[in-house]
Amino acid sequence: MPPAGLDVPVVFLVFNRSELTARVFARIREARPARLFIVADGPRLNRPGEAEKCRQVRDTIEQGVDWPCEVVRDYADTNLGCARRVSSGITRAFEQVERAIILEDDCLPDPTFFPFCAELLERYEGDERIAQIAGCSFRPTPPADGSSYSFSRYPHCWGWATWRRAWRTYDHAMTAWTVPARQREVLREIEAAAERKYWRHAFSGTLRGRHDSWAYRWTLSCWDRRGLSAVAAQNLVSNIGYGEAATHTDANGAIAALPTRSLAWPLRHPSRVERDPAADAAVGRLCFRRPFLLWRCWHRFRRLVS
């Protein structure tokens, strides 16, 4: 594996979970990025004690930077919510840098995640077909040709990386979903009716304000221009944030806290830039089908109670 010392900036998205933040930050600390953007949301006014939790999270990072590193702080005084805070933080980072690795406070990366992103950011920097690089991988089997990664239509965002040239296409207003012809084009390659239903519900709900999601907006932005994601052959990032305190990550136990495996070096690159339809179909079946109505009602009840 390449030596420690990361020349790609890291954007670290945090909120109020100090224990998870500390675990993920420990991996960032091992990678020793030369530049670290700390993007922190602020406390909600109706949550007693949350201001202290947010302060603890920020202190955990501030006090833990013990290597040569330029720290850029982007701290919200009040709560912006998931979609606005994440997207505005990434946008502000890309006003200063051309490429970055992006991690949320519950996305625990394998050490090889960082050099994997760094190498592919360099390799595909000028390739407009590639929208991002994903460290989390839900494909059931590795690529048949032995490549270290493959290409997918799904822009997975539990540990990922991208460029300014790609992020500038992010459309928070979801303009594509307001035009029926563009809706049809966005979903054209999805063959399974159940998955098309999932994405219609996801995009429409986000547009109408039911889902406070930047990730659905990013997915739509990528699909609207047919951007591909380079996805690691094996899972490099485990989402450890599932549970009652999670904002969005308690809806699919099949991908909760998946174990990670390190990639071998040197990386083996695919011979062609084209997506793997069979792998995408398998991932669609695993991740992008709406749960049964009874389960959704129970889930909403639990969230209201909590």
Query: What is the CATH number for 34?
Result: 3.90.550.10
Residue 3: inside a domain: no
Residue 92: inside a domain: yes
Is residue 238 pLDDT above 60, yes or no? yes
**Secondary structure element (H or E) that encloses residue 11, with its range:** strand 10-14
Give the model's pLDDT for residue 248: 45
Residue 5: inside a domain: no
| Nearest-10 crossing angle of helices 214-224, 193-207 | 120
In this prediction, residues 10-26 reach a mean pLDDT of 98
| Nearest-10 crossing angle of helices 214-224, 82-94 | 60
Residue 4: inside a domain: no
In the structure encoding, which two tokens stand for residue 153, read together? 């239509």
In this prediction, residues 117-125 reach a mean pLDDT of 98
Residue 239: inside a domain: yes
Residue 155: inside a domain: yes
Q: How many domains in the chain?
A: 1
Is residue 249 pLDDT above 70, yes or no? no
Give the model's pLDDT for residue 294: 41
Q: What DSSP string runs through 250-303?
A: TS-GGGTT----PPPSS----SS--B-HHHHHHHHHHHSSPPPHHHHHHHHHHH
User: Domain range holding 239?
Assistant: 10-305
Nearest partner of 150 among 159, 141, 158, judged by Cα: 141
Residue 79: inside a domain: yes
CB under 8 Å to 211, separation ≥6 — which residues?
202, 205
CB under 8 Å to 276, separation ≥6 — which residues?
139, 143, 150, 151, 152
Nearest partner of 259 among 102, 137, 160, 142, judged by Cα: 137
Are 251 and 280 contacting, i.e. CB atoms less than 8 angstroms apart?
no
Nearest partner of 134 among 209, 222, 195, judged by Cα: 222
pTM attached to this predicted model = 0.91
Residue 1: inside a domain: no
